[in-house]
Amino acid sequence: MGFGTSLDMARPSGFGVRHWQAILLFVGMMINYFQRVDISAAIVPMTQSTAGAPSYNWNVSEKSLILSSFFWGYVVSQVPAGLLAKRFGAKIVLGTATAVGGVLSFFHPMAAASGWESVCVLRILTGLVQGTVYPCVHTLLAKWVPRTERGFLTTGIYSGAQFGTALILVTSGFIFESSLGWPGLFHLSGGLSLAWALLFFWQAANEPATARRITKTEQEYIESLTGSNSSSQSMPVPWIAIFKSPAFYGLLAGHCGFAWGFYTLLTQMPTYMNKVLHLDVKSNAFLSSLPYLAMGVLCLVVSPISDVLTNRGFISITTARKLFNSIGQWGPMACLIGLGYMTADQKTWAILLLTLAVGTNAGCSCGYLINHIDLSPNFAGPMMGVTNGIAGVTSIVAPLVVGAILTEEEDPNQWRLVFFITGAIYLVCNTLFVIFGKATVQFWNEPTSMSSTIALRNNFENDSQTIAPTTVKDNRF
């Protein structure tokens, strides 16, 4: 299929193999977020006396260490995971890691009985295997998602994180009050992780060329519009060029801002609702899930809007990335400022602001989150490993900062400071993304010779104003 032909002519109709791969990854994101979020939901009943389940007298600092320890392992495995996915294929790395994480989930109740230190060790190990998720998924997206569908399919897949978070939080309240108790949450995460890993090994493929039952039309369509070289597994990562790129640092700032805000709320929201808003365990679980359900739904709303705006040439892809990332970080910033002045008597407003603060994060799914693929389809996985690893450091620091501030968990004034700090980080990081961010394929994506990505760029406007084929005078790079 030539690059000079119309994109619409090459686009296969109906449900394709790329859509099935997207569904597999969507469910995989849900399952992996079960492993990640279960401790945030369970930490409340684990430290309260409930019938039929053990409880532990852990103080605020110990709970903060438990919540942050996941990211100690998470940070370490990011770059190796991206390199492993590039070298051996993302399918085997992601499937194995999810299965191992599932096994680790089963051991959490036993670790808790041994002490909070043992839980920290398990969370570190869980973080190590979870560190493979985003680099591997990004590697697969660079191979499977055509440029014309990048906003919707990529955002749809990653929205599994929000739906997974919402699902585990909303069901956790019922699990906690059942005969299973809070240990049942970890058993559920473990069982579902193992089941998904088996399905993924059976049905997933690293790229269209190795997929089952894919038509030649769909394969050519995908390969012509991804910009990812089929020989990229053997290409050396241009680390020096990447670390000299201003666009990379803009992307890094956007990623760090999102990570600080998202994980601060993810790890602390159940505690805030319990201690400040005085909600019981079941109400806490359900209401804690609402923001992530809202974010998941909004992800599916903003992504087609982003695709329409760019595919029809209304705005450039670079402008779209900055616009939606600003919605996803400055919107929550405004909500958190208002949340800082809420009290227990204003439960409804507080819950509304929390829901909006997390829900509007959805804009980032069409912002920094897919910018790695914009900049370098061939090295999106390793780049995600670097930015997610560095952003993971903020995820370690955030719960520790909260633990240092909250000497009294029931004090709204201390929570106000937590929210204001988070809002300030959103402000600074997104400003850097707006200044330095780009969404054009960088020269270091093809370090040796002109291949699929160069051909793709010669067929599109360099400023990414539209993804429609351009005339000769517009073929400048």
Region 63-78 average pLDDT:
85
- pLDDT band of residue 51 (cuts 50, 70, 90) is low
Report pLDDT for 280.
67
Tokens of 294: 């809202």
Residue bearing the bigger pLDDT, 148 or 282: 148
Smallest CA-to-CA distance from 210 within 17, 454, 452 is with 17
CA–CA gap between residue 312 and residue 79 (Å, rounded)? 36
Q: How confident is the model at residue 5, as a pLDDT?
A: 39
User: Which of 102, 116, 111, 112 lies closest to 68 in space, CA to CA?
Assistant: 116
- Give me the pLDDT at residue 93, please: 94
pLDDT of 461 reads: 39
Dihedral Cα 52, 286, 363, 378, nearest 10 deg:
30
**Over the stretch 174-215, which tens digit does the pLDDT of each residue have?**
888 888 888 889 999 999 999 999 999 999 999 888 888 888
pLDDT exceeds cutoff 80 at 250: yes
Q: In whole angstroms, give the CA distance from residue 413 to residue 137.
A: 40
What's CA 158's distance to the chain center, in Å? 6
Q: Which residue has the tokens 């405004």?
A: 334
What is the band of 118 on the pLDDT scale with cuts at 50, 70, 90?
very high
Residue 264 has pLDDT above 90, yes or no: no
Q: What is the DSSP letter of 100?
A: H
Q: Is the pLDDT of residue 291 over 80?
A: yes
Between 122 and 218, name the one with better pLDDT.
122
Q: Is the pLDDT of residue 462 over 80?
A: no
Query: From CA 400, how far away is CA 412, in angstroms rounded?
Result: 18
| pLDDT value, residue 459 | 39
Residue 234 banded pLDDT, cuts 50, 70, 90: low
Mean pLDDT over 151-159 rounds to 85
Confidence class for position 23, pLDDT limits 50, 70, 90? very high
pLDDT score of 11 more than 60: yes
- Considering 103-112, 179-188, 376-385, the range whose residues carry the highest mean pLDDT is 103-112
Q: Is the CB of residue 374 less than 8 Å from the CB of residue 317?
A: yes
Return the minimum-mean-pLDDT range out of 45-49, 216-220, 297-301, 351-355: 45-49
Q: What's the average model confidence in pLDDT over 445-466? A: 48
What are the backbone dihedrals phi and psi of residue 358, each rounded to the nearest 5 degrees, phi first?
Answer: -80, -40
pLDDT at 150: 79
Q: Residue 472 has what pLDDT?
A: 33
Mean pLDDT value across residues 255-275: 84
Say what the pLDDT of residue 54 is: 82
Per DSSP, what are the bridge partners of residue 53? 50
SS3 58: coil
Helices (H), 51-115: 60-88, 90-106, 108-114
- pLDDT-derived band at 7 (thresholds 50, 70, 90) equals very low
pLDDT at 410: 81
Lowest mean pLDDT among 25-29, 124-128, 267-271, 436-440: 267-271
Q: What percentage of the chain exceeds 70 in pLDDT?
A: 88
pLDDT band at 128 (very low <50, low <70, confident <90, very high): very high
Q: What value does the mean pLDDT take over residues 150-178? A: 85
Write out the two tokens for 29.
């994101």
Cα distances (angstroms) measured from residue 417 to each of 66, 217, 301, 423:
22, 56, 32, 10
Q: Inform me whether the pLDDT recorded for 3 exceeds 70.
A: no
pLDDT tens for residues 53-67?
788 888 878 888 888
Q: What is the mean pLDDT of the chain?
A: 83
Closest CA to 91 of 131, 140, 58, 37: 140
- Say what the alpha-carbon torsion angle 292, 296, 297, 301 is, to the nearest 10 degrees: 130
- Using alpha carbons, list the distances in angstroms from residue 192 to 199, 201, 228: 11, 14, 32
